[in-house]
Structure 1
Amino acid sequence: MKILFIGGTGLISTACSELAVQRGYDLTILNRAQTKKISAPPGTHVLTADVHGDFNALVKTLEPHKFDVVVDWIAFTPEDIERDLQLFKGKVKQFVFISSASAYQKPVQNYLITEETPLENPFWQYSRDKIACENLLMIAYRKDGFPVTIIRPSLTYGLTQVPLCTGSWLHPYTILDRIKKEKKVIIPGDGMSLWVCTWNADFAVGLVGLFGNSRAYGEAFHITSDEVLTWNQLYEQTAETYGKKLNPVYIPSDWLAAWDNEYTGSLIGDKANSVVFDNSKIKRFVPEFNCTVTWTEGVKRAVDWFEADSSRQTIDEQANQEWDEIIMAYERSFPKEK
């Protein structure tokens, strides 16, 4: 089976690339010539082009190649999907769009999320764009039989990222460094909302297992762990990995959003909500899918990876300063002792 990953050296896609190669698939990765934390795995073919750049140049790059399955990891807007439809309609057996579980209805009406949960998120433009992408693809499926499969990952992590909800995405060691030094760390709300974190290699089993499955055309799937933890547990178990005591500061999500609107989407539109995912659908389609890496094990692997090489331990000083300012401002608002 010939597979194209648009993107393919990112946090989630790297694990999927590795599994696809292990299973003997002929994998090509299309991305820009750019330094990555983790390079494309051995055994893959690499095409260099900017998928968001010159369309004619992109067509020329892809023209000599034929693929059975195309996975677009970096489509975020309807314009991206319109480009993909121009490129691949009538030319592939399956097109896989990586959407987002953040697209599910907010505020949450039922803690148990299924693929039938409505798609609606007034708090986060990122999620609304993903919904618009899904709508375009389903119109193409119903009208023209375009063989789309939609995937909605939730918070998925691996060696290079520890996805605590108040961290620095570009410099993920920053929050680990604070925990390691027992500095104060922000936890939204009271830390008791429920969340699910999924190890990227576990996710890969579900995704790769759908390749070439015609029953998955016109279907949407989320692929997550069944382990449900509170944010307190997620932070505390990270601190335990270092043998340190967690020093949390609990701040309401709406207070954080008032400080910086970026928190509106990522917290109120996503991580401040308690969610549990019903994974029965992906398990029906891919019986081998079963998440085996617990958060305790996964976060230990990630911490060990960061601590093994000081070059990985980059710090986001701007984020650190902002977190300190937020904590000081919030603590100043406490009532004075009588």
Structure 2
Amino acid sequence: MSSTMRVLFLGGTGVLSAACVSDLAGQDIELTIVTRGGDTRRPVPPQVRHLQADVHDAAAMDAALAETEHFDVVVNFIGYHPDDVAADVARFTGRTGQYVFISTGSVYARPAPRLPVDESSARRAADFDYPRLKLECEDALERAYHRDGFPAVIVRPAHVYDETVVPLLAGWTAIDRWRRGLPTVVHGDGTSLWNLMHARDFAHALTRLLGDDRLTGESLHITSDELLTWDGIHTALARAAGVEPLLVHRSSEDIGREIPWMGTVLTEDFRHSLIYDNSKLHRLLPQFTPGTPFRRGAVGIVDWFDGDPGRRRTDKELDAAFDRLAG
């Protein structure tokens, strides 16, 4: 009988999942991924078994996975609703040794009652649907573990990026404005603390923990130890783009009045400082050190976007809103 670990990814071409696929592709792992289709930005390595199915289509998933009765580990990168979790609990009960749900650090209460937050800190989500639904998914998995022993693990990344993503709500529009000599708007006074982690570093940690029995029934942060201010994040990106940043500070509420979708994210999440206690991660992986400081990651981002003019897309409505806010 083969001792090779058999791993299933639900998802495999997104920012987090593609980095994990790339990390596992060179290891002695039998990796299967399920996606709805390919992502040309992040191609799937040829040695990875790639099944195409809609994870929300029960019949399609049953057909796609019919040839494999058991996986050592299942990782769900694309679970965003408690119905997704309920379907997975039903499908994988008795068919996996460990089920890893990729949640988000945004489930923690804002503002945090105490800093830094650890895995036991208060969780709460109000009007921001993304963390609210992720928290409901976590609750469903915790019930399944405590009630029936379903081998759930909850992993909470913070803000993860790769070279294809400008980790600002304004995206490439911010950099385009700087290169045109125009300011970009930053919420608050720009000094609140934030966490950015390169997807390669996240993958390096997660893939080395898959199947680790110490995690079953537990939750875990995988975040960077680098503390960044929002002004610092903007500055690193501007300098990577070859310019000095022009920044205008406005309250989250003022920004929300001009750009409603952005206001929700800012007021419920981004304006609050969040510092993570990563001691649990470092106990599990004593040798782990994230290797990509954001100043280096910012250079990779700008280089990728500059590599093809078609990647440098801007939002005209957002651009106009920043003009009004900066006026």
1:331 Cα deviation (Å)?
4.9
Contact 1:125 1:265 in 2 (8 A): no
Structure 1: tracts of 5 or more residues without a match: 333-338
1:284–1:265: structure 2 CA closer, same or farther, 3 Å change rule? farther
Residues 244-295 of structure 1: CA deviation (Å, up to 9, x unaligned)? 1211121100222233432344212211111111111111112232112101
Query: What secondary structure is seen at the aligned counterpart in 2 of 1:277?
Result: coil
> Residue in 1 aligned with 2:126?
122
Query: What letter matches 2:223 in structure 1?
Result: T
Cα distance in 2 for partners of 1:261, 1:324 equals 14
1:305 Cα deviation (Å)?
1.6
> Residue in 2 aligned with 1:59?
62
1:67 Cα deviation (Å)?
1.4
TM-score, normalised to structure 2's length? 0.94
Structure 2: tracts of 5 or more residues without a match: none
Query: What secondary structure is seen at the aligned counterpart in 2 of 1:325?
Result: helix
Cα distance in 1 for partners of 2:18, 2:286 equals 22
> Superposition pairs for residues 1-338 of structure 1, below 5 Å?
1-52=5-56, 54-65=57-68, 66-164=70-168, 166-168=169-171, 173-313=172-312, 315-316=313-314, 319-328=315-324, 330-331=325-326
> Residue in 2 aligned with 1:336?
none
1:159 Cα deviation (Å)?
1.1
Residues 100-159 of structure 1: CA deviation (Å, up to 9, x unaligned)? 100001122223111111110213111111111001101111111111110111111111
Cα distance in 1 for partners of 2:240, 2:259 equals 30
Query: What secondary structure is seen at the aligned counterpart in 1 of 2:119?
Result: coil
Cα distance in 1 for partners of 2:155, 2:95 equals 21
Cα distance in 2 for partners of 1:265, 1:81 equals 25
Count matched residues: 322
Cα distance in 1 for partners of 2:217, 2:82 equals 18
Query: What secondary structure is seen at the aligned counterpart in 1 of 2:127?
Result: coil
Query: What secondary structure is seen at the aligned counterpart in 1 of 2:153?
Result: strand
Farther-moved stretch of structure 1 (130-139 vs 22-31): 22-31
Contact 1:123 1:268 in 2 (8 A): no
Farther-moved stretch of structure 1 (303-312 vs 125-134): 303-312
Identity of aligned residues (%): 35
User: Structure 1 segments of 4 or more deviating over 3 A?
Assistant: 258-261
Query: What secondary structure is seen at the aligned counterpart in 1 of 2:209?
Result: coil
Query: What secondary structure is seen at the aligned counterpart in 1 of 2:15?
Result: coil
Cα distance in 1 for partners of 2:237, 2:326 equals 24
Contact 2:256 2:262 in 1 (8 A): yes
Cα distance in 1 for partners of 2:208, 2:264 equals 31
Cα distance in 1 for partners of 2:113, 2:319 equals 31
Farther-moved stretch of structure 1 (219-228 vs 260-269): 260-269
Query: What letter matches 2:226 in structure 1?
Result: E
Query: What secondary structure is seen at the aligned counterpart in 1 of 2:290?
Result: coil
Cα distance in 2 for partners of 1:146, 1:244 equals 52
Contact 1:106 1:122 in 2 (8 A): no
